[in-house]
Amino acid sequence: MHCRFVAAGILTFLSFSSAAMAGECAGNPDALGTSRVISLDPSELKLVGTIQYKQTLPLEDHEVVLTFDDGPIPPHTDKVLDALAAECVKATFFVVGEMATAHPAALQRAYREGHTIGTHTEHHARLDRLSADKAQKEISDGLASTAQALGDKNAVAPFFRFPYLDQTGAAEERAMHLGLSIWSADFHASDWTRINAEKVTALALQRLESKKKGILLLHDIHERTASAVPVLLRELKKRGYHVVHVVPASGAVAKIEEKPDAKTPEKTEQVAVAKLDENTQVKTEQAALTNPATDKPKQGMPVNLDHKNQKNAEGGWHTRIKRSRKVTASAKRSSFPNFFQALWQR
């Protein structure tokens, strides 16, 4: 199907030689670089990623698109950005609205350095468990929060990815009504599970070698991923792979409405992150280490990419919530001695 898109000129390609891009990489003449840029029109290519859909981006052999979900979150997002900058590589970040609100500086840096900023709902919600209206609000609020954090609606690319890749037909229609292109992926590195950085790199390369090209899904909220990215980029260069950057076509914008309770980034830098429902249990990834070609879900079926032990993973959403509660509990315990000491001194 995507061949017809290319033949019809629906996608515009802006190509650059990887040698020239790498040569312009300050301090690293042997950098991987960004080989070319694809300009994508969401009105023409609405669904991409063969994990869920029949078509994906029209990539050549040994071309890969890097995508990162769930951020921004310091210091992990910053480390990912450092690694990408060192190799002059551009990626797409699918950010969570409340994370953008909490950490606008990291998001602004990603945009300033030329990365594409897509969205991933407001609260990383499971839209397949919400009513149609609530699902649309999650999508719309995610767009609004990201635009508010960046200070510019036009800075937000009309690219959207469902959390957990759990989509419904109604939510897809509403997202497309907002002018969004819906991204799945072609393969992933299981980096939300409790594996080390070496395993993240190994799985990403193993699955890329199996497909030879595609959209790679990673998560910039984990230390393991941040540590894996520099090694992964060097291995891509060594194995002859080329990174492709995807940007919106000229005039392609999402329909973004400002939230009534929107705050400026300066006032929200200290806002607490991630208020996910702790009672929500997510499904375990099935056959994570098997050949993805044999485990591809049916068209339109939701795919759960989050591990049931995510709440115990380093840097996971629930981990941050637990840490904050421990601090609160500790503060409460420390207040009692101070209280009695004050009475004694009286």
Residue 191 lies in a domain: yes
Residue 213 lies in a domain: yes
CB 243 within 8 A of CB 35: yes
Residue 160 lies in a domain: yes
pLDDT tens, residue by residue, 242-283:
999 999 999 999 999 887 665 544 433 333 333 333 333 333
pLDDT tens, residue by residue, 99-145:
999 999 999 999 999 999 999 999 999 999 999 999 999 999 999 99
Mean pLDDT of 22-33: 83
Residue 334 lies in a domain: no
Domain count, the chain: 1
Distance of CA 323 to the CA centre of its chain: 23
CATH (domain of 85): 3.20.20.370
Count of residues in the chain: 346
Q: What is the pTM of this model?
A: 0.75
Show the domain range for 23: 2-315
Q: What is the DSSP letter of 282?
A: P
Residue 331 lies in a domain: no
